[in-house]
Amino acid sequence: MSFPITAGLLDACVLSMLSHDDTYGYELTQKLHESLQVSESTLYPVLRRLQSSAFLRTYDVPHQGRNRRYYAITDDGRAKLNEFREDWDEFRGRIDDFLRSDS
């Protein structure tokens, strides 16, 4: 892909994914990796940042003798996701005006 993935865009993608279902970090990475080149080392700082901003919460679930940390979106996270979506629609419209114009 020719365009870089910014921190804000990655935040929006993570919040969007978690708005559907809670999940754990490795699964999130795998799902994101289907569309974007994102590694676990890139994703975990994003998750920590979103958690420290109160956009995510965590809880542990036992799995094969260990705890697996799940991430869930909060009400504040849903509000932030709506802001991201509005900003994205405006940004995409402006870029489309440039890229799709004939002049």
Q: What is the CATH number of the domain that holds 65?
A: 1.10.10.10
Question: How many domains, the chain?
Answer: 1
**For position 35, what pLDDT does the model report?**
86
**For position 103, what pLDDT does the model report?**
60
**For position 3, what pLDDT does the model report?**
78
Give me the numbers of helices (H) and strands (E) for the chain, helices first please.
4, 3
Tell me whether residue 31 is in a domain: yes
Query: pLDDT averaged over consecutive 10-residue blocks of the chain (103 residues)?
Result: 83 96 92 84 92 97 93 98 96 90 70
pTM of the model: 0.88
CA dihedral 57, 48, 31, 61 (to 10 degrees): -40
Domain limits at 23?
A: 7-99
